[in-house]
Amino acid sequence: MTIRVPVNPDLLHWALERAGVSADALSNKFPKLNEWLGGDLAPTLKQLEAFSNITHTAIGLLFLPQPPEEPLPIPDFRTVPKARLSRPSANLLDTIYLCQQRQA
């Protein structure tokens, strides 16, 4: 018997976007990913763990009711004001959080 874990499809879309990975790129690893994204089928816990590892997302975040806001904790001077980036990458946030921990 396979136990499926209910996950909000919006969180799966958010994790893919946050990691900068397309659903097509993961279709070999997760053949039923499009069904998960459509809300037709829920992944198993092992599948969800593998998905969270590939997208570099903490598995606990995938159980939230809606995608979390991840504001940049420092001023963003990487671009000019009119060309701001819409969302910081997961790698950038991890690096900033690590530097803040070291500073503290």
pLDDT tens per residue across span 26-48? 989 999 999 999 999 999 999 99
Query: What DSSP state is assigned to residue 2?
Result: P
pTM for the complete prediction? Answer: 0.79
Residue 69: name the closest of 81, 54, 86, 84 by CA: 86
44 forms bridges with which residues in the sheet? Answer: 4
Query: What DSSP state is assigned to residue 17?
Result: H
Query: What DSSP state is assigned to residue 82?
Result: G
pLDDT digits (tens, 9 = 90+) for 40-75: 999 999 999 999 999 988 999 999 999 988 878 887
Spell out the alpha helix ranges (H) of 3-89.
9-19, 33-38, 45-54
